[in-house]
Amino acid sequence: MSKAQFAQPQTPSPELLSWVASQLQAGCRPDDVLAAMRSSGWQDAVGLKALEQGHAHRLADQAAASADGLPAATPVPEPDLKASPSALWAGDREVQVLMSLVLPRVVVFGNFLSHQECDELVALAQPRMARSETVVHVTGGNEVNEARTSDGMFFGRAELPLCERIEKRIAALVNWPEVNGEGLQVLHYRPGAEYRPHHDYFDPAQPGTPSIVAVGGQRVGTVVMYLNTPEQGGGTTFPELGLEMAPIKGNAVFFSYNRPHPSTRTLHGGAPVLAGEKWVATKWLRERPFE
């Protein structure tokens, strides 16, 4: 390829615009954002255009949100996809970027966990499994619920070296402090079990929510990691997007939500397992340190 071809004018990609918007939302200085784009190979003219568009988008979003009475937007975890990489270094492992959607932000990662890590996590969780409970937003407590017919358990954050390793990997991959997260949750679905569509943030209209978010603030992102490959069914679905993630052992899906509101279009569920069984680990990321 000739030098002239390298010097072709670039246009900002959707991934670049999304990354710029997230950096501005997180309070980064425009000069620093521009420098980061330059070091990823983007021309300054493109970087400036992306900054301008990202800033305009953020102002429009803020204005629309306050006009509609929506909760304020908060910074969210964000993988660095500004140069559209096919793989990312997650601190101790290379992870593939298999699919990404900008709005809502959904990213599918391949090779996130090794098969050995998946098997170890299942073996460590198995003795502690109990029928899953969901948070009752009215009271802030937990109860068994027909919407979630899996069994589950929670590890404490960094409870075991394996948990800590996975938590560090997530933190590195989505650029979010390790302490701003709940411990890993492991879920086991038998044939017919499902997790009906829901949002992972806590509904601000429910009386129990202030006590739930008093420590750590709202949930702002989710990573669902597939610990096995069910024979049939068990995908993670986003009904508003017409999107279904195949549950493949070792892969993970990440999505974020910048305000606790359905406008984030992050309604998602675990489709019924039709044959075989399904194991997942979920990590919920919080606004602030969860401790």
| Residues of this chain that bind Zn ion (CB under 5 A) | 200
Contact 105, 18 (CB under 8 A): yes
Contact 246, 231 (CB under 8 A): no
Least distance from ligand PD2 to the Cβ atom of residue 151, Å: 12
Q: Which is nearer to ligand PD2, 12 or 235 (CB)?
A: 235
Q: Which is nearer to ligand PD2, 61 or 240 (CB)?
A: 240
44-67 vs 30-39: helix crossing angle, rounded to 10: 130
Q: Are strands 106-110 and 252-256 parallel, antiparallel or unpaired?
A: antiparallel
Binding partner of residue 187 among Zn ion, ligand PD2, none, CB under 5 to 8 Å per kind? ligand PD2
Lookup result for tokens 């050995």: 116
Binding partner of residue 224 among ligand PD2, Zn ion, none, CB under 5 to 8 Å per kind? ligand PD2
Least distance from ligand PD2 to the Cβ atom of residue 13, Å: 29
Q: Which is nearer to ligand PD2, 63 or 147 (CB)?
A: 147
Least distance from ligand PD2 to the Cβ atom of residue 167, Å: 16
- DSSP letters, 257-276, are -SSSSGGG---EEEPPEEES
Q: Which residue is nearest to ligand PD2 (CB)?
A: 270
3-state class (DSSP) for residue 178: coil
Least distance from ligand PD2 to the Cβ atom of residue 277, Å: 12
Q: Which is nearer to ligand PD2, 13 or 185 (CB)?
A: 185
Binding partner of residue 266 among Zn ion, ligand PD2, none, CB under 5 to 8 Å per kind? none
Which spans of this chain sit near ligand PD2 (rule: CB under 6 A)?
187, 195, 200, 222, 224, 236, 268-270, 280, 282
Binding partner of residue 258 among ligand PD2, Zn ion, none, CB under 5 to 8 Å per kind? none
Which one, of 270, 286, 104, lies nearest residue 202 by Cα? 286
Binding partner of residue 260 among Zn ion, ligand PD2, none, CB under 5 to 8 Å per kind? none
157 DSSP 8-state letter: T
Cα of 142 vs its chain's centroid, Å: 23
Binding partner of residue 236 among Zn ion, ligand PD2, none, CB under 5 to 8 Å per kind? ligand PD2
Q: Which is nearer to Zn ion, 23 or 180 (CB)?
A: 180
Least distance from ligand PD2 to the Cβ atom of residue 205, Å: 20
Contact 208, 140 (CB under 8 A): yes
Alpha-carbon distance of 279 to 260, in angstroms, equals 27
Least distance from Zn ion to the Cβ atom of residue 105, Å: 15
**Furthest-apart CA atoms within the chain: distance in Å:** 65
Contact 235, 276 (CB under 8 A): no
Alpha-carbon distance of 183 to 143, in angstroms, equals 19
